[in-house]
Structure 1
Amino acid sequence: MYKIVIIEDDDVIRENLYDILNHHSFLVEAFDDGSLALKSIKENLPDLILCDIMMPKISGYEILKNIQESNEFKSIPFIFLTAKVETADMRLGMNMGADDYLTKPFTTKDLITTINLRLEKVENQKKEELKTLKHKLDNLNKIIGHEYNTPLNGIIGLSDLLLSSFDNFDKTEIHKYIECIKESGIRLKDTNDKLIDFISYLNDIKTLAPDIISIKELKEITINILKDASKKNNRISDLNILNIDRSYKGFIAFPTNYLIKIIKEITANAFKFSSAYTPITLDFLIIDKHYISINIINHGVLDYTSKGSLPKINNYENGETDFGVGLFIINRLCAIQNCSFSIAENSRIRNQNITATLKIKYLY
């Protein structure tokens, strides 16, 4: 049974609405005071709100504004009841987030039809959300299977080898295998951390207050991440940093935690999808005096760009699980921070340059 809240200061209209909706099997609460209605809405979360505009204590616009300020309540369908038919008034309410208008006097048929249409729309949205969630969870199973099994297979395989043939190995070989097991364990932890982020980012991401980061600090953060990755991958000699001495004034406004996470994901993919003894190049560029571009270039393989599909950042939905989690995280974080991320390929005879570009608003 759907629950509807009526907010109407006219006693006759309020009582008539109450009787009509009760007759049509709705659970109804009726108020002549907007403040009491808001208290009830926040405690009981109705399925729909019918609200008069012109009321003495608190107007319908103020009630709507109060509801729209809360993510928990802003999705409740809100229908204005009004004797005012001016276009400007209707536009104001719609711009504030109202879903519909009923102009007094209205018929019972108009009332019930309008309510049912709004409730049906909400139900359809819920069905789509459930469908989307199921799709995401189905793909998550594929991602978890690949991302966990790869390092786990290494740990189990090498452990079995040591257990079954321990006496056949010398200390150097045993030490080497233990190092490999440790590397697989570290990779498994990294995978676990990444999947925790992935699951949390399937829903709304918490918006963090931006930090003021100078361009000098930005360069230091990026260079340090690349240096750490090159050491981890035993590819220190592959790292090539261009224009390292070039100085830029200005700064960016960006949450440091999110910035580090984005650059780490870009860097990890650059190393993962390129061969040893091929360069990983970092370059900074100022674009049109408004953006700073961080370019990380590697000599990759064609799968890295998924044959042109990469700009959509949807690989995790296309079944390409080995690369999609990191891209999904990058894309989600960039979306809420109003920066852009792209990947371009430049094919050559013997190799293919892959350029991952992070473009952030540049401030003076």
Structure 2
Amino acid sequence: MSSVLVIEDDPEILENIGEILELQSYETLTTSSSVTGLQLAKEALPNLVICDVVMPELDGYSVLSELRQQTETATIPFIFLTGRSDRSDVRHGMELGADDYLTKPFTQEELLGAVQSCLSKYDRLSKQYEAQAQEAQSIEKQLQTSQELAEMNSVLLEKLSQGLRHPVSNITIATYMLKQNLSQKDFDRYIAILEEECARSTSLLNEVSGLQEYLNPSKINLLRGKLKVRIPL
């Protein structure tokens, strides 16, 4: 149910508007004081404000200006009521951010038409904003995931580099020694070193290769867990 705040210092007009809106199942708040109305708008955050321009305390322009300056009330639809028909008055209200203008006297159809038009407009805008906000969040999440995947890929490469450094060094030494005149015992020892370091390197490459399969957004949570397990160096 949409809520409508009506601020009008003429008791008869205020009562009539309230009754018309309530008959259409709108939740209606009414006040003859612009100061009270401004406070109600900030506290109740209605879906629509209908406000007279000429008021004894704050005029309607001041009420609208104050609402537009507050984050919580800045987007509340606003309809002016006025006995003035001068175009400059209408333009001034629109420049302040009013959504519509009803000149007294107005019919029930004109009032309800303006109310329904404003509420429908802001409902569409709210849905569009929500969709855009969700899309922005999705894009931001994708960017964060891409950045995290890039960082994880860097971690894998670093682990691979560190893990291969020692085996490659031992393989290089063993290969050099096997070219020398060695006793059978030393020859067998360096062959064993080669076999051990080759097996170690192969195991490390297989482990890193297995982790690389998780370098995609759908498996990033699994990769986070697996990277917590230290690759033996």
Please confirm whether the aligned pair reaches a TM-score higher than 0.5, indicating the same fold: yes
Note the residue ranges of structure 1 that are not aligned, 5 or more in a row.
171-364
Write the distance in 2 (CA, Å) between the matches of 1:41 and 1:3.
11
Q: Please say if 1:168 is aligned against 2:151.
A: no
How far the C-alpha of 1:169 sits from its partner, in A, is: 5.1
In the TM superposition, 1:114-193 aligns within 5 A as 114-160=114-160, 162-163=162-163, 165=164, 167-168=166-167
Write the distance in 2 (CA, Å) between the matches of 1:144 and 1:62.
44
Q: How does the TM-score come out when normalised to structure 2?
A: 0.68
How far the C-alpha of 1:68 sits from its partner, in A, is: 1.8
Write the distance in 1 (CA, Å) between the matches of 2:67 and 2:142.
39
How far the C-alpha of 1:5 sits from its partner, in A, is: 0.4
Correspondence for 1:6? 6
Note the residue ranges of structure 2 that are not aligned, 5 or more in a row.
170-233
Deviations 1:220-276 (A, max 9, x none): xxxxxxxxxxxxxxxxxxxxxxxxxxxxxxxxxxxxxxxxxxxxxxxxxxxxxxxxx
Q: Which has the higher strand share?
A: 1
Write the distance in 1 (CA, Å) between the matches of 2:93 and 2:146.
50
SS at match of 2:75: coil
How far the C-alpha of 1:132 sits from its partner, in A, is: 1.4
After superposing the two structures, state which structure 1 stretch, 133-142 or 119-128, moved more.
133-142
How far the C-alpha of 1:72 sits from its partner, in A, is: 2.3
Write the distance in 2 (CA, Å) between the matches of 1:42 and 1:108.
27
How far the C-alpha of 1:84 sits from its partner, in A, is: 0.6
SS at match of 1:121: helix
Q: How does the TM-score come out when normalised to structure 1?
A: 0.44
Percentage of matched positions with identical amino acids: 31
Deviations 1:83-134 (A, max 9, x none): 1101111111111111111111111111111111111111111111122123
| Higher RCO structure (Cα 8 Å, ≥6 apart) | 2
Write the distance in 1 (CA, Å) between the matches of 2:51 and 2:25.
19
How far the C-alpha of 1:139 sits from its partner, in A, is: 2.4
Letter in 1 for 2:99: D
In the TM superposition, 1:8-157 aligns within 5 A as 8-157=8-157
Letter in 2 for 1:5: L
**Moved beyond 4 Å, runs of 4+:** none
How far the C-alpha of 1:54 sits from its partner, in A, is: 1.1
Q: How many residues align?
A: 169
- Give the number of the structure whose alpha-carbon radius of gyration is greater: 2
How far the C-alpha of 1:145 sits from its partner, in A, is: 2.9
CA RMSD of aligned residues (A): 1.7
